[in-house]
């Protein structure tokens, strides 16, 4: 039994004190009566000498004492039974708070019991609030996952969701995504704008027309900081960033974000990561416009969504890209074939997409299994697998995505599988993921330098948690010259 549970229990000595007192009174009454009668005994004549008045008085005292004790015990038991009946079988929200307050003020053991119940009730209420919060946190990712899973027949839904995540990550007020030249007419078509319903499509086009024309001519990133006198429109006003979707020198579309809820310009890091999201979206648009590339289209769009999701949490920004580079570097060190390397690359880019619907504050603080939000965060590998599964042609990535937090000794999550069930791509992704986590600043600690992180991971390998061969391959990869660590996969899509 936990210390908290022990504290919530009524104190037995106090609860029984009143009952013992009344039992003692009832036991003393006959003793006192007998003692009194002995004092009235005529030892010579062997008679008890009492007057009528004395006998009536004695009888009255016995009856009154017995009656008072009975009434008191009956009252206590009645309250106890009422309290237990009230609580037994009731739902948490059906407990009568007013009656509970009245019982708490009772003196003696009923008050003590009521106070214990009140403490337990308060603890249960707090637990219920935490469960409701966790339920809401689970519902949020599931809601987003539902959208992402349903995108398989709607490319525009996924790109719209990506835009929402980008805006959420950089605190933008407005945003829009356009396709370009789909019909060979050299015109932009609005796919999505946020906030929705504020402006009609023609108003969005009108507000951004000059930037769209500039994008056709220059085909490069446009960044406009906020100036005090700047006011393009009530939604699309500086700070503003416009990025093109380019593939082989051809303009396929563009994405725009503008305004900032924190009333500041976008940081260099945010602009750099936003630009990378646009590059990833360009790959999705290119596949979308190519016949027979259905699954690859949505896979590339999911990768863009994963990058946008990471924007919301500072220590996760760029995480998947770094993990992918580390993982592919390890694959090269181990001389794995091109197909396996491709699986590792793809799985690395999507391994954390299951975090897309989890509140950023939850991701910031849920760094250990002792965290109250751990149950929510620890489900992200399963959620990621659910999101990717509809893409039948990339099923090879499902295993490493689901199991990238598993350890060889079975102490990982979500399934607790052991060495024999953990594939080589999964082992590589696990090691790359841990290394990036160790060498990145986190809310609860500073980043380790590379050699210290490798040292710690070698200790993990000795403890039977991660693959020693993979750790050594990682150590060789990260110690190689910087230019060799910039992995560039040029594999056919």
The average pLDDT across 36-46 equals 69
CA 272 to chain CA mean position, Å: 27
pLDDT 10s digits, 99-109: 555 555 555 55
Is-contact 182 289, C-beta < 8 A? yes
Highest mean pLDDT among 36-45, 147-156, 366-375, 418-427: 418-427
pLDDT digits (tens, 9 = 90+) for 395-417: 899 999 999 999 999 999 999 99
Instruction: Give me the pLDDT at residue 146, please.
Output: 54
Confidence of residue 97 (pLDDT cuts 50, 70, 90): low
Cβ atoms of residues 151 and 238 within 8 Å: no
Closest CA to 355 of 315, 309, 295, 423: 309
Residue 242, phi then psi, degrees to nearest 5: -120, 125
Maximum mean pLDDT: which of 1-15, 57-71, 225-239: 57-71
Residues 268-282 have a mean pLDDT of 93
- Residue 426 CB partners (closer than 8 Å, separation 6+): 399, 400, 403, 404, 406
- Look at 147-151, 282-286, 290-294, 300-304 and tell me which has the smallest mean pLDDT: 147-151
Q: Answer whether residue 390 shows pLDDT above 50.
A: yes
Q: Is the pLDDT assigned to residue 155 strictly greater than 50?
A: yes
Better pLDDT: 199 or 282: 282
pLDDT of residue 134: 45
pLDDT for residue 128:
56
Whether the CB-CB separation of 300 and 388 falls below 8 Å is answered with: no
- Residue 60: predicted pLDDT: 82
Q: Give me 335's structure tokens.
A: 């001389």
Q: Domain ranges in the chain?
A: 3-126, 154-278, 313-493
pLDDT value at residue 439: 96
CATH topology of domain 154-278: Beta-Lactamase (3.30.450)
Strand (E) or helix (H) holding 205: helix 201-218
User: What whole-number percentage of the chain has pLDDT above 70?
Assistant: 72
Q: Which CATH class is domain 313-493?
A: mainly alpha
The predicted pLDDT at position 9 comes to: 42
CA–CA distance, 390 with 386 (Å, rounded to integer): 8
Between 80 and 424, the more confident residue is 424
Region 163-175 average pLDDT: 91
CA atoms within 13 A on the CB side of 230: 13
Helix axis angle for 155-170 and 108-150, nearest 10°, is 130
Radius of gyration of the chain (CA): 36
pLDDT tier at 125, thresholds 50, 70, 90: low
Q: Quote the pLDDT of residue 375.
A: 81
pLDDT greater than 50 at residue 264: yes
């Amino acid at each position: 039994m936990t210390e908290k549970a022990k504290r919530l229990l009524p104190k037995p000595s106090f609860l029984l004190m009143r009952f013992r007192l009344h039992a003692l009174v009832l036991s003393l009454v006959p003793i006192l009566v007998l003692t009194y009668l002995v004092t009235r005994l005529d030892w010579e004549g062997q008679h008890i000498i009492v007057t009528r008045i004395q006998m009536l008085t004695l009888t009255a005292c016995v009856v009154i004492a017995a009656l008072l004790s009975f009434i008191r015990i009956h009252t206590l038991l009645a309250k106890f039974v009422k309290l237990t009946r009230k609580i037994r079988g009731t739902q948490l929200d059906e407990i009568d708070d007013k009656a509970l307050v009245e019982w708490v003020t009772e003196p003696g053991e009923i008050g003590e019991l009521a106070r214990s119940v009140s403490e337990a009730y308060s603890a249960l209420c707090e637990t219920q609030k935490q469960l409701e919060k966790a339920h809401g946190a689970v519902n949020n990712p599931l809601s987003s996952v539902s959208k992402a899973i349903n995108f398989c027949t709607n490319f525009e839904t996924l790109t719209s969701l990506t835009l929402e995540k980008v805006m959420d990550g950089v605190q933008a007020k407005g945003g829009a995504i356009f396709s370009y030249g789909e019909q060979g007419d050299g015109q932009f078509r609005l796919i999505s704008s946020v906030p929705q319903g504020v402006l009609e499509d023609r108003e969005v086009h009108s507000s951004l027309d000059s930037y769209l024309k500039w994008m056709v001519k220059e085909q490069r990133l446009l960044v406009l900081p906020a100036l005090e006198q700047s006011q393009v429109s009530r939604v699309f006003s500086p700070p503003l960033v416009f990025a093109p979707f380019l593939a082989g020198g051809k303009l396929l579309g563009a994405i725009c974000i503008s305004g900032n809820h924190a009333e500041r310009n976008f940081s260099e890091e945010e602009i750099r990561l936003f630009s990378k999201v646009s590059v990833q979206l360009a790959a999705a648009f290119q596949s979308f416009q190519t016949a027979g590339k259905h699954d690859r289209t949505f896979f590339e769009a999911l990768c863009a969504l994963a990058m946008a999701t990471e924007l919301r949490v500072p220590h996760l920004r760029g995480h998947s890209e770094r993990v992918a580079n580390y993982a592919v570097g390890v694959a090269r060190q181990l001389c794995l074939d091109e197909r396996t390397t491709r699986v590792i690359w793809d799985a690395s880019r999507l391994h954390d997409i299951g975090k897309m619907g989890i509140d950023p504050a939850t991701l910031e603080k849920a760094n250990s299994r002792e965290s109250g939000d751990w149950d929510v965060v620890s489900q992200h590998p399963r959620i990621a697998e659910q999101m990717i599964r509809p893409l039948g042609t990339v099923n090879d990535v499902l295993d490493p995505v689901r199991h990238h937090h598993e350890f060889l000794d079975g102490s990982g999550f979500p399934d607790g599988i052991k060495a024999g069930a953990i594939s080589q791509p999964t082992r590589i992704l696990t090691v790359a993921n841990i290394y990036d986590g160790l060498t990145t600043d986190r809310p609860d600690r500073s980043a380790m330098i590379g050699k210290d992180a490798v040292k710690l991971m070698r200790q993990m390998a000795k403890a039977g948690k991660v693959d020693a061969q993979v750790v050594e391959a990682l150590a060789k990869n990260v110690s190689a010259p910087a230019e060799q660590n910039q992995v560039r996969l040029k594999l056919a899509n």
